Amino acid sequence: MKRNLLSIGLFLFLLNSCSQMSQKSLDEKTSDNMVVAEKQMNRQLQLIDESGNIQYPRTVTENKIEYVPIDDWTSGFFPGSLWYMYKLTGDSKWEKLAEKYTENLDSVKYLTSHHDIGFIIKASYGNGYQITKKEAYKAVIIQSAKSLATRFRPVPGVIQSWDENHGWQGKRGWMCPVIIDNMMNLELLFEATNLTGDSTYRNMAISHANATMANHFRKDFSCYHVVDYDKIKGGVRGKCTAQGYSDESSWARGQAWALYGFAVCYRETKDPKYLELTEKIYKFIFTNKNMPADLVPYWDFNAPNIPNEPRDASAAAVIASALYELSTFGKPEYKETADKIIESLSSPSYLAIVGTNGNFILMHSVGSIPHGNEIDVPLNYADYYYLEALTRKKALEGK
């Protein structure tokens, strides 16, 4: 009897030690990825400093780091990553750098040639205003929302994403193309109303979200990439893809933008229909037979040669970040899913070795396969949403 009790005691002791070890190794992994993130961001900044200019790294093309002009849709992600480095480390060095790379984007506030001013300004000035409460940042956010509002088309009730003559229309002849990515630009409009009390911006965002909800989704709650509206008579002219495998396929980052965008709509309106939609999108993504075990999706859920297709770490990072937010809206189990994604992205399969990968943090993302652009490369927005996800995870865990 005594021996039996001793054995049970020993067993429980070993079990407890093992669980402490696995917890410890998880925490160690988190600090490892922060070491990589800090070193990679430092190296990136050093290279930019050596060039003598303020530059915005986007990706690696033919072994060279590609920098983008400030009106590129991705220009805000590098300053945005700097803001998250500040939040994650508390080191004021990152805050100073984030200010420098944000404030150089000032003239973007007048950009009206595409919808992506929302991405650019939210990542840079949006994060900056949340942290610093600088009045000058607030003014940029409001002016940027005014610029985005010029693209609102009242008859169909949507923000026009791309101009009619966008190079990706092919022979289709678009009139008012709206891409699912546009859901990400609504946050800027909600923020402008929160800052000014003028409900015009918020009403546009809600109108756009409702049209997207009605027209972008299929019966299984996967979504189309592009819906083209008639801006004179109203109604839908056509549905297709630009960056997915086919018009009827489910482009992975598109599903990610949808999940994240409607999570923001629920946060800002508390309208339950948006939360219900995120649950359906979640179900599509995580019950999909083509979702790999590590939860980093292939670039398109219907790509023809799965499992021999590139993964898209950027889609995984966007999904993880959205799930951390959604976990606070009565879905605590979503945090476990997000944690699994973060664990995968923080493993050697996706986390860069310091000094490689063009000094970006994550490997294996995809820009646009149909255009032969950015296939299996680092992307600044994969890094940005990964750091955002880590920031949200840390806040949820009270660290």
Closer residue to ligand GLY (CB): 88 or 387: 387
Closer residue to ligand GLY (CB): 201 or 257: 257
Residue 96 makes CB contacts below 8 A (sequence gap 6+) with none
Residue 236 makes CB contacts below 8 A (sequence gap 6+) with 215, 227, 228, 229, 230
For the CB of residue 19, give the shortest distance to ligand GLY in the complex, in Å. 40
Residue 192 is which amino acid?
A: A
Asked, as a colleague might, if the bond just before 272 is cis with ω within 30 of 0, I would say no
For the CB of residue 247, give the shortest distance to ligand GLY in the complex, in Å. 17
Does 116 participate in catalysis according to the annotation?
Answer: yes
Give the C-alpha separation, 251 to 238, whole Å.
Answer: 17
Report the b/e string of 168-200 with b at 16+ CB within 10 A.
bbeeeebbbbbbbbbbbbbbbbbbbbeebeeee
Closer residue to ligand GLY (CB): 94 or 251: 251
Closer residue to ligand GLY (CB): 145 or 183: 183
Write out the H or E segment, with its range, that includes residue 22: helix 2-51
Give the residues across from 38 on adjacent strands.
Answer: none
For the CB of residue 27, give the shortest distance to ligand GLY in the complex, in Å. 32
For the CB of residue 86, give the shortest distance to ligand GLY in the complex, in Å. 25
CA-nearest of 318, 323, 341, 294 to 396 is: 323
- Residue nearest ligand GLY, CB atom distance: 181
For the CB of residue 251, give the shortest distance to ligand GLY in the complex, in Å. 9
Give the C-alpha separation, 327 to 204, whole Å.
Answer: 27
What DSSP designation does 222 have?
A: -
The residues that touch ligand GLY, with contacts defined as CB under 6 A, are 73, 181, 243, 253, 367
Structure tokens given for 128: 């900056």
Angle subtended by helix axes 313-327 and 380-396, to nearest 10: 20
Does 181 participate in catalysis according to the annotation?
Answer: yes
The active-site residue, picked from 72, 181, 228, 300, is 181
Closer residue to ligand GLY (CB): 243 or 250: 243
Residues taking part in catalysis? 116, 181
